Amino acid sequence: MIRVLRRQKFLADAFGLRMRHAARMQKKPHGSDRIAPRHGVARILSKTGVASRTQAAVWVREGRVSVNGRIVRDPEFPVSMADDKVLVDGHELNAVERVYLMLNKPRGLLTTTTDEKGRNTVYDCFTGSNLPWIAPVGRLDKASEGLLLFSNDPEWAARITEPETGPDKTYRVQVNRMVDRALLTRIEQGAVEDGERLGAKAVSLLRRGEKNCWLEIVLDEGRNRQIRRLLEAFDIGVLRLIRVAVGDLQLGELPKGQWRALSEQEVAALSS
């Protein structure tokens, strides 16, 4: 009799355990107990498109940003957009329209938001345009010109600039000497400069002059002054460097210093 009672109690306890487990599963559907990812508040602000990460960090240090009603001054303060209420100057973050632009960058402008020496930057081309905050997608150095992308969509920009999956960049380069077929092959094969391997996906001759020529160079990655450094390794100087395409997007007849919005199809094609 005692054994029967003990067995009945065991079965009842097991049944109760199963029922409590089932009740918990009903209260928490699959996946609902996952913890929302948390990132630094400055990064969260930049992802919304309201400001660059650097500018957002300045706002945080100035005490202009609150999280759940409390002012925070650490740009790396962890925040979840799903769980936390973030305000800037006491105002909720409104959805910002995503902007995708291309600029025909003139020679002589710096690809930066501000310059401590007061030199002209690419943002001078957007004066009076009433655009939201936008950032360059990639770079062109001061002496280079041509197609430069801008956006306030950090995730899209990251896909464009990713070396392994981003689109190729095509340049037309005027050099200070004649280049024969053998030298073209050597340039394409690459060189080691300051311990770094530099190369190009494709190099071809566009046209010859009396003392110089134009090359077309295609890169599938973007390193600092990559084309200039690569050509310098072969004692070739650059007279002009113009980016004429990013993927299938062509600079075309866009006037120097002018910009235009990208179409939905162009935006999608660049990041596909």
Dump pLDDT digits (tens) for 77-96: 998 877 888 888 887 776 67
CATH code where residue 43 lies:
3.10.290.10
pLDDT per residue as tens digits for the range 123-162:
999 999 988 888 899 889 999 999 999 998 888 988 999 8
Contact 107, 65 (CB under 8 A): no
Scanning the structure block, which residue is given the tokens 């896909």?
A: 159
- Residues 3, 65, single domain; the answer is no
CATH code where residue 129 lies:
3.30.70.580
H helix intervals, 28-153:
41-48, 53-61
- Residues 156, 259, single domain; the answer is yes
Write out the H or E segment, with its range, that includes residue 128. none
**Strand 259-261 versus strand 249-250 pairing type:** unpaired
- Residues 47, 72, single domain; the answer is yes
- Residues 159, 256, single domain; the answer is yes
From the candidates 33, 83, 89, 141, give the one annotated as an active-site residue.
141
- Residues 75, 192, single domain; the answer is no
- Residues 181, 141, single domain; the answer is no
pLDDT-based confidence at residue 248 (cuts at 50, 70, 90): very high
Contact 215, 206 (CB under 8 A): yes
- Structural domain tally of the chain? 4
CATH code where residue 232 lies:
3.30.2350.10
pLDDT per residue as tens digits for the range 166-196:
999 999 999 999 999 999 999 999 888 878 8
- Residues 175, 235, single domain; the answer is yes
pLDDT-based confidence at residue 35 (cuts at 50, 70, 90): low
DSSP symbol at 113: S
- Residues 81, 123, single domain; the answer is no
Query: Is 141 a known active-site residue?
Result: yes
- Residues 174, 159, single domain; the answer is no
- Residues 45, 67, single domain; the answer is yes
> Which residue range(s) make up the domain with 46?
39-92
- Residues 191, 205, single domain; the answer is yes
Write out the H or E segment, with its range, that includes residue 168. none
- Residues 177, 64, single domain; the answer is no
